[in-house]
Structure 1
Amino acid sequence: MEANKQSFLQRNRRAFLIIFDILTLTATYLIPWIAISGRTSLEAYRGLLFSSTVLFVLCYVTVFVLTGMYDSLWRYAEIYEFFRVVVASVMAIGIFILVTVIIYNETSIPKSVYLMSSLFSSSVTLYSRLTYRMLRNTRIERAGKQRNRVLIVGAGEAASTLIHEIFKDPYTDYNIVCAVDDNPQKLSRTIMGVKIMGTTRDIPNLVKQCNVDTLLVAMPSVDEVDKKRILNICSKTRCNIRLLPDITRLISSGKDLLDAVRDVKVEDLLGRDEVVLATEGMVSVIGKVVMVTGGGGSIGSELCRQIAASNPKRLILVDISENSAYEVQQDLRMKYGDKLDLVVKIASVRDSKKVDAMMREERPQVIFHAAAHKHVPLMETSPEEAVKNNVCGTFNLVDSADRYGVEKFIFISTDKAVNPTSVMGATKRICEMILMSKNAVSDTVYSSVRFGNVLGSNGSVIPLFKNQIAAGGPVTVTHPDVVRYFMTISEAVNLVIQAADIAVGGEVFVLDMGYQVKILDLAENLIRMAGFLPYRDIEIEFTGLRPGEKLYEELVLSEEGTVDTVHSKIFIVKSQNGFDAEGIEKDFWELKALAYSNDEEGVLEKMAEMVPTFKRSRLRV
C-alpha cells in the first residue's frame, strides 16, 4: 500500500507541484491586498482582484513551466536551483506588471501590492522547496543507519568540494562534526557550517572531544612528506582513516567524488610521490615476441599484465609453479581473450636443455628475467640451491639468448646486490656481472634493474605483518633500527619496462626511491590502521637480525656513482671497471660445479672470491 502511494506521488509529482504553487501564489497575492486595503475596501476591487489574481498565478506558473522549474529534482537541489527560483520569480513579476499596466490603468493596482506580492511569492516559492529538501534529507537520515562522525583534515578547495558532496547526498554514511587545517588564518572559521577547530596536531584531542570515528583526509595537493606526517598523526587514533585522491586523477578516472574516497594504503606512508613514468613508452615490447620468466610471481605477473596491455606480438609466460602460471593465464585470457597470443611454459630455468628448446621454438625478441629464489634467510641455509636457481638459471638464459639472437635481455636485480651480506644478494650481484660481461661480446643488449622491497609482493614484510595482526600478534620486527627502501609493484614494473626502452647494453638501472622507511614505524602504523594500539592491543617483538640481513640497504657501491637518464627518477650505475667475459665464465663453471656437488662451504668461498664485497654471515641456521 505504502509503495503504491509512493509510486502515485512520483508519477504525478509535476501536477502536485503546480497545484501547490497555485495555492501558495494565490495566498501571497491576496495577503498584500488585505493588509493594505482591509476587508471593507476589497468589495470595491472584487472584479479587479479576481482577474489580477488569475493573471498573477498564470504568469508565475507559465514562467516556471518554460524555465523547467517543475523538472528539477528538489531533493538534490543546490544553490544553482535556488538561484533559478529567484530569476524565474523576477521574470514572472516583471511580466505580470507589464501585462497589468497594459490591461488596467497603472493606478488600478497599488504599487505596494506589486512590491509585497513579489517578495512574498519569491520567498514562499524558494523556502517551500528548501524546506522540502531539508525535510526529505532528515527523514532519510533518521530512517537510515547511524552515520559515522567525521573529522575533515584540510580546509581548502578539495575539502570544500568534499563537504558539499557529503551534504548533497542524503544517503551518505558521513556526519561531519568538525575540520582541521594548518593555516592559522582559517582557525575558528567555517565551511558550509563546519567549524575549523584546530590544526593537524590537534587531531587526537578533537577525536576524543567530538567522539570522532572517521578521519577524512582531504589534502590531495600536499607533498608526500607532509602527507606522511599527517597520516602518522591520524594513525595514532583508533579512527578509520580515508583519503581523498588527487582531483585531476579523479576527473580522468570518471569516478564520483564520494566513491573515490579510499582507505589509507601502506604506500601512502612512504613519504615520497609515486613514480609515474611515461605511458608513451613500452616501445621495447610493442609488436614483439616477449618472454617473462617467473611470470607467475609478484613482479613477473605484473610484467605480464603491463606487457599484455601494450600489444605484443606474442607473450610467453615461463614459471616452475603451475598454480601461479595458471592464475595469471586465466586472468589474461579473461581480459584479452583471443586478442592476446599467450603461451604458458611450465619450466625451470635451471634446465639448460629446456631453456634452449624454448628459445629455439618461441624465438623471443625481448626477455624479462624475474625467476629467482629471493628469501634471504632460506637462501642462507641453502646457498647451493640459490646458486643453482639464481646464477645457473640466469647463465642458461643469458647464453641461450645470445645464441638465438634475442634483441634485449632485462634482468631483475635487487638493492641487496650492493655490498651483499646475504647469499641471495651475492647471487644477484654475480648475475649482474654475468650480464655485463656477456654484453661486451654479444649483439644482444643485456641490462639489469635494481630496486628495493616491493610492497605486497609474495613473501614481503607487509603481508607477514598483516597476518600477524589478524592473528592478534605479536608482530615481529628483527631490529628497532632496521630500514628499507620500498616501492609499489606498479613502480617496479614501470621501471623495468622503461629500462628496456632506453637500454643500450651493460647498464645497471636504479630508481630514485626517496627515503628508507623504518620497519618499526611501518609495523606500528599497520597496527594502528587495523584499529589497534601498538604495545597495548598488539605487541611488537624484536627477534634480532637474521643471517644475511642488513640494518640498511644501498643502491650503489661507495666507489660507484650514477648517471642521469632521460627520466628524472631513473639513473644508471656508473661502474668502475668492465668485466672479463672469459674470467667470469670460468668462475661460473667452477661455482656451478661446487653447487651441483652440494659443497656449501666451497660455494660460499667461491662467491666471496667473485664478489669481494660479499660479507658472509657468521650465523648459519
Structure 2
Amino acid sequence: MSYKKQLSIFIVLDLFLVFSAFVLSHLLVNGLFAITHTFMISSAVLLGMYLGFSSSYRLYKKAWEYASVIELLIILKATALSVMAALFVETMITGQLMLRVMIVTWLLQVLMVGGSRFVWRIYRNQKQQYRPDYKRTLIIGAGAAGTMVARQLLQGKDCDLKPVAFIDDNPHKHNLDVLGLPVYGGTGRVVEAVEKLKIQKIIIAIPSLNKKQLNKIYTECAKSNTDTKILPMIEDLISGKVSVSQMREVQVEDLLGRKPVELDLELLSGTLKNKIILVTGAGGSIGSEICRQLIKFQPSKMILLGHGENSIYNIEMELRLEHDVAHTEFITEIADVQDAQKMMEIMYEYKPDIVYHAAAHKHVPLMERNPEEAVKNNIIGTRNVAQASSWNGVDTFVMISTDKAVNPTNVMGASKKLAEMIVQGMDQISNTKFVAVRFGNVLGSRGSVIPHFKKQIERGGPVTVTHPEMIRYFMTIPEASRLVIQAGALAEGGEIFVLDMGEPVRIVDLAKNMITLSGNSLEDIDIVFTGIRPGEKLYEELLNQDEVRSEQIYPKIYIGQRAELYLDEIESIIDNFSLMEKENLKQKLLELANRKPAHLKKSNWPISS
C-alpha cells in the first residue's frame, strides 16, 4: 500500500473516531444528543485541532507495527490538546463550561484512536509470527539487547526463529513476562529450560559481557547440546552492517577471557602516516595481519617482503582490493632473510623508516628435527635484517618473538631467545631503535593448534591433545599484530614488550570448546592424549626472572628489563653450526639461551609463572 493511500485511510478513520467519541460523550453524560449550531462549531474545532496537533507530532509518519509507549504518549498529547482547544471555543460561544463532556470525549478518543493503532500492530504481528518451520529459541539476557532481539524476531518476516523464553541472572526478573515471554530463571537453569521448553536454538544477547562471563555462560549452553549463537557486535548493529536477526556463531576468540588491547590511534597516526614501512614475512599469518593493520594509517610505501611468491601476491591483491590504498604505494620483494646481500640491497634501495621483522620458523617439532634451519632463519636471518636496517638508517626495527623464548626447552624457543639478544645488542651500537615483541600462541595462525583441531573435528575425530594439564597463553592474530605496531610506536630502544595475556588456557578445554562450537557433543568426538612432544613443556612464561619489570607502559603492555647478552657466543654458533652434529647444536643453543646471569631478581610480576 502506498504512503498516500495509507495516509488517507488513517485520516478518514481518525476523523470518524474523533467525531464518534464526541457524540458518544454527549450521550453518556447528558443522555441525549442534538445537532445544534454550537455542536457543529465544537465538532469542527475538535476535528481541525486534532488534525493540526497530529500533524505537528508526526502521528501519521509512524510505523504502527513497531508502536510502543512513545507512540501512545503522542496520541495522548494530540487528543488532549485538541480537546482543550475545543473546550475553550465551546466555552467562549455558550458561556458554559462543558468539562465533563470533554473529559469523556478525551478518554474515548484515546481508547478509540490508540486502540485502532494497536489492533493494527497486533494483527501484523500475528500474521508474521507463525511459520510452520520456526525454531523455538531461548534468549540469554532479558535486558535492552535481549528485548530488542525478541521484538525483531517476533516481528520479522524472514527469520525462522521464534523466541519462547528468556534466561537472565537478575533475580528480580524471574517469573515475570517480558514482551509476553517468561523469564525462566538464571543461567544455571539453561539445560532445564532447553529440555522443558523444547528449545532448538539459543541466542546470547548481552553485549556488556566480558569474555570471562561469556565463557561461563557458553559453558552452560554447551551442556544442552543446543546450537548457540551470539548477538552481533553492538557497533555493527548501530552502523547498520547487520541486523539483530543476523546472529553469528560463538568463536573461540570470544572465550579467551580477556578484553582485546586497544590502540593509541593518535600516537600511531603520527608515527606511521606517510612513512616507508617494510614487513618481512609479509605473506605469513602474523606478517599479513600487520600489513592489514598498517594500511589504515596511510604509509607512503609498504614493502612486502617474503620467501613465498604466492603468499606475497595474495596479501598484495587483498590490500589493493579491500582497503583504501590511494595514499600508499605497494612494493613486493621475493627474498630470503638468510640472504644478507639481498637484505642490504633492499634496505639501500627503499630506505624504510620502520621495519617489522615477522619472518621466522616457528614450528616446534620441525625445528627440533632441523636445528640448523632454526639457526639459519631465526638467528642469521634476524641478524641480516637487523644489520641492513642499522646500516641504512632505519628509525625503528621491531622483531616478533615468542613466549617460548623464556626458559626455552626447544630449539625454536632457543633460537628466538638468541635472536632477541642480537636485536638488543644491535640497539647498543646503532642509532636505530631495536625492540622485540613477545606474545603467546596466536589463534588461527599457521601451525597453531586451532586449524589442526578444526581438521580433526571435520574428520569426525579424535582430537589429539598432548597432555591433560598442558596450558598456553592465547591471543588473536589482529591482537598480536596491534601489539607489534603499538610497540613500534612506543619504542625507545632495547625493550622487550610483553602483553598481559590474562589467564592461560588449558589446551584440553580449548579442544572441548571447539568440539561444542562445531555443533558436536563431547560424546560424538573423542579426545585422545598423545604425550608431550620433544622440546615441549606444560606451561609457557612471558618473562624470565632476570627480565621482570613490574610497571605497565601502556594498558596491558609490559616491558622486560635488559637481560645479559652473549653476543660472542652467538657469533661462534653462527660460524660453526654447519660443522656440528644436530644433537650437539641443539645442546649449544639450549645451553646458551638458558644461561643465567650472575644476579637474579626476585619479583611477583603478574605474568611470570
Kindly indicate whether the alpha-carbon contact (under 8 Å) linking 1:317 and 1:343 is maintained by their aligned counterparts in 2: yes
1:84 aligned onto 2:40: no
* Counterpart position of 2:9: 16
- Paired residue type of 1:242: K
Instruction: Indicate the larger mover: 130-139 or 58-67.
Output: 58-67
* Counterpart position of 1:3: none
2:562, 2:99 → 1: CA distance?
92
Kindly indicate whether the alpha-carbon contact (under 8 Å) linking 1:285 and 1:310 is maintained by their aligned counterparts in 2: yes
* Counterpart position of 2:230: 243
Structure 1 length as normaliser, TM-score?
Answer: 0.88
* Counterpart position of 1:618: none
Q: Which SS does the other structure have where 1:554 is aligned?
A: coil
- Give CA-to-partner distance per residue, 1:400-441, whole Å, 9 cap, x none: 223222222211111111122222112111211222223222
100, 103, 116: which is aligned to 2:93?
103
- Give CA-to-partner distance per residue, 1:383-406, whole Å, 9 cap, x none: 222222222211221222232222
488, 506, 510: which is aligned to 1:500?
488
Q: Which SS does the other structure have where 1:281 is aligned?
A: helix
2:162, 2:124 → 1: CA distance?
16
Kindly indicate whether the alpha-carbon contact (under 8 Å) linking 1:165 and 1:257 is maintained by their aligned counterparts in 2: no
2:139, 2:197 → 1: CA distance?
12
* Counterpart position of 2:358: 370
1:263 aligned onto 2:245: no
- Paired residue type of 1:594: L
Q: Which SS does the other structure have where 1:505 is aligned?
A: coil
1:182, 1:336 → 2: CA distance?
44
594, 599, 607: which is aligned to 2:579?
594
Q: Which SS does the other structure have where 1:98 is aligned?
A: helix
- Paired residue type of 1:399: Q
2:238, 2:116 → 1: CA distance?
38
Instruction: Give, in angstroms, the shift of residue 84 of structure 1.
Output: 0.5
Instruction: Give, in angstroms, the shift of residue 16 of structure 1.
Output: 1.2
Seq. identity, %: 38
1:336 aligned onto 2:324: yes
163, 167, 171: which is aligned to 1:184?
171
1:606 aligned onto 2:591: no
Kindly indicate whether the alpha-carbon contact (under 8 Å) linking 1:293 and 1:369 is maintained by their aligned counterparts in 2: yes
- Paired residue type of 2:279: V
- Paired residue type of 1:220: P
2:246, 2:128 → 1: CA distance?
23
Instruction: Indicate the larger mover: 63-72 or 153-162.
Output: 153-162
1:372, 1:356 → 2: CA distance?
18
1:259, 1:106 → 2: CA distance?
57
266, 290, 298: which is aligned to 2:277?
290
2:147, 2:237 → 1: CA distance?
16
RMSD over aligned Cα atoms: 2.8
309, 330, 347: which is aligned to 1:359?
347
Kindly indicate whether the alpha-carbon contact (under 8 Å) linking 2:473 and 2:540 is maintained by their aligned counterparts in 1: yes
* Distance change in 2, residues 1:274/1:245 (3 Å): farther
Kindly indicate whether the alpha-carbon contact (under 8 Å) linking 2:364 and 2:412 is maintained by their aligned counterparts in 1: yes
* Distance change in 2, residues 1:67/1:437 (3 Å): closer
Alignment of structure 1 residues 269-418 onto 2, 5 Å: 269-282=255-268, 283-334=270-321, 335-418=323-406
Instruction: Give, in angstroms, the shift of residue 496 of structure 1.
Output: 1.0
Instruction: Give, in angstroms, the shift of residue 59 of structure 1.
Output: 4.0
* Distance change in 2, residues 1:442/1:49 (3 Å): closer
561, 573, 580: which is aligned to 2:548?
561
- Paired residue type of 1:388: K
Kindly indicate whether the alpha-carbon contact (under 8 Å) linking 2:274 and 2:298 is maintained by their aligned counterparts in 1: yes
* Counterpart position of 2:499: 511
* Counterpart position of 2:126: 138
2:355, 2:87 → 1: CA distance?
82
Kindly indicate whether the alpha-carbon contact (under 8 Å) linking 1:140 and 1:171 is maintained by their aligned counterparts in 2: no
* Distance change in 2, residues 1:580/1:71 (3 Å): closer
Gaps of 5+ in 2: 597-609
* Counterpart position of 2:51: 61
1:401, 1:433 → 2: CA distance?
16
* Distance change in 2, residues 1:53/1:196 (3 Å): same
* Distance change in 2, residues 1:524/1:47 (3 Å): same
1:29 aligned onto 2:22: yes
176, 199, 219: which is aligned to 2:186?
199
* Distance change in 2, residues 1:184/1:136 (3 Å): closer
101, 107, 127: which is aligned to 1:119?
107
Instruction: Give, in angstroms, the shift of residue 603 of structure 1.
Output: 2.5
Q: Which SS does the other structure have where 1:472 is aligned?
A: coil
Kindly indicate whether the alpha-carbon contact (under 8 Å) linking 2:26 and 2:101 is maintained by their aligned counterparts in 1: yes
Instruction: Give, in angstroms, the shift of residue 163 of structure 1.
Output: 4.5
Kindly indicate whether the alpha-carbon contact (under 8 Å) linking 2:159 and 2:245 is maintained by their aligned counterparts in 1: no
* Distance change in 2, residues 1:89/1:168 (3 Å): farther
2:479, 2:146 → 1: CA distance?
29
Structure 2 length as normaliser, TM-score?
Answer: 0.90
Kindly indicate whether the alpha-carbon contact (under 8 Å) linking 1:188 and 1:197 is maintained by their aligned counterparts in 2: yes
- Give CA-to-partner distance per residue, 1:470-499, whole Å, 9 cap, x none: 222222222222111101112211211121
Kindly indicate whether the alpha-carbon contact (under 8 Å) linking 2:443 and 2:476 is maintained by their aligned counterparts in 1: yes
2:213, 2:69 → 1: CA distance?
34
Instruction: Give, in angstroms, the shift of residue 252 of structure 1.
Output: 7.4
Alignment of structure 1 residues 518-529 onto 2, 5 Å: 518-529=506-517
1:213, 1:398 → 2: CA distance?
57
User: How many residues align structurally?
Assistant: 594
Kindly indicate whether the alpha-carbon contact (under 8 Å) linking 1:447 and 1:506 is maintained by their aligned counterparts in 2: yes
Instruction: Give, in angstroms, the shift of residue 75 of structure 1.
Output: 2.3
* Distance change in 2, residues 1:53/1:532 (3 Å): same
1:456 aligned onto 2:444: yes
Instruction: Indicate the larger mover: 293-302 or 558-567.
Output: 558-567
2:48, 2:594 → 1: CA distance?
96
Q: Which SS does the other structure have where 1:327 is aligned?
A: helix
